[in-house]
Structure 1
Amino acid sequence: MALNAYLKDLVESPVRSLADVIAYNEKYAEEVKTNSLFSVSEENVRTELRKHTQEKVEEWGQDLFLEAEATNGIGEKEKAALQKMEELSRNGIEKLMTELELDAIVTLRSTMSHILAIGGYPGINVPAGYDSDGVPFGITFGGLRFSEPKLIEIAYGFEQATLIRKPPKFEATSRQQKQSCCFL
């Protein structure tokens, strides 16, 4: 229901509800499979975007969309689960941080991001290092609700103290070099 309200209020969008999203995905499924041309025209760019969308639909499916569309909102089971999550948040993160007078909790990578999101807590992930293959990883600073200014201050302080982040290097492959001709 909240998603439908959000989509309805978009200024410029071909979809205004979850039902519209489902119909949009179904409408372009066949068109995308049969149209493999690519040139710089606006219509072909749109087609390529639709193709990308369809690839994601095929990868992830529309099952969740269809299930959500078949409901009338949040049921009793979901309401009970939300209440339980709120209780766990109050007696977990909030209690721990309050009792220990913590400004933030820190974890490697984003292992606690789902816990923060479920509880409605802010979190910020910043570069912390690179693995043996040179792939970057970060640490997450999480805090209580409305502690965003403090978290930003802490994260910025960590970044300035460590100076770990390296600017990304772009090395185009021969395929990317060939494709770049189409976007002149």
Structure 2
Amino acid sequence: MRGVVPDTFTDRQYSYSGEDELLKTRHSRRGETDYFYDTTGRITACRSEDEGYLASWEYDAAGNLLDRRAGGRATAENSVVLFNRLMSYRGVHYRYDEFGRAVEKEGRSGTQSYRYDAEHRMVEVTTARETYRYVYDALGRRTENSTSALTVNRTTGQNFYGTECGWRRRTGRRE
């Protein structure tokens, strides 16, 4: 093709183990990245020589993530995993409430806030541009998703084979 800049296209290749674990990625612009796992299939390290990036993960005997570190040794001051909760990863920071639920996610694209009801169900997500609300029925099933521009209701009906669920759209501005 004439007139096409060669850097316009990106080629990616993936290599997997017999256990379907991602072992290597090849990216035409970023080079190769290798992935390493323990005997139970949990990721333990990720290395990209072209980007000069090395990350490793450690777990306790119960399989809880203890820490993830980039480069050298992690300390309590720079830990990104605290009480089995991811605090920070690649420029995105997370904050949790006393129940361990994510209540805030802050990154380059802005901040998202999450609110929950007494049953620990997410009822609201707020971003810089929009607020999303969720309504649940007595059985805990989400029955409505809404924003200021759109409301989507969930309907449930019975058929010969069992329960059939569907979504019905209702558009319009909310008051």
**TM-score > 0.5 by shorter chain:** no
Question: Which has the bigger relative contact order, CA under 8 A and spacing at least 6?
Answer: 1
Please report the TM-score for the alignment, with normalisation by the length of structure 1: 0.27
Of Structure 1 and Structure 2, the greater strand share is in 2
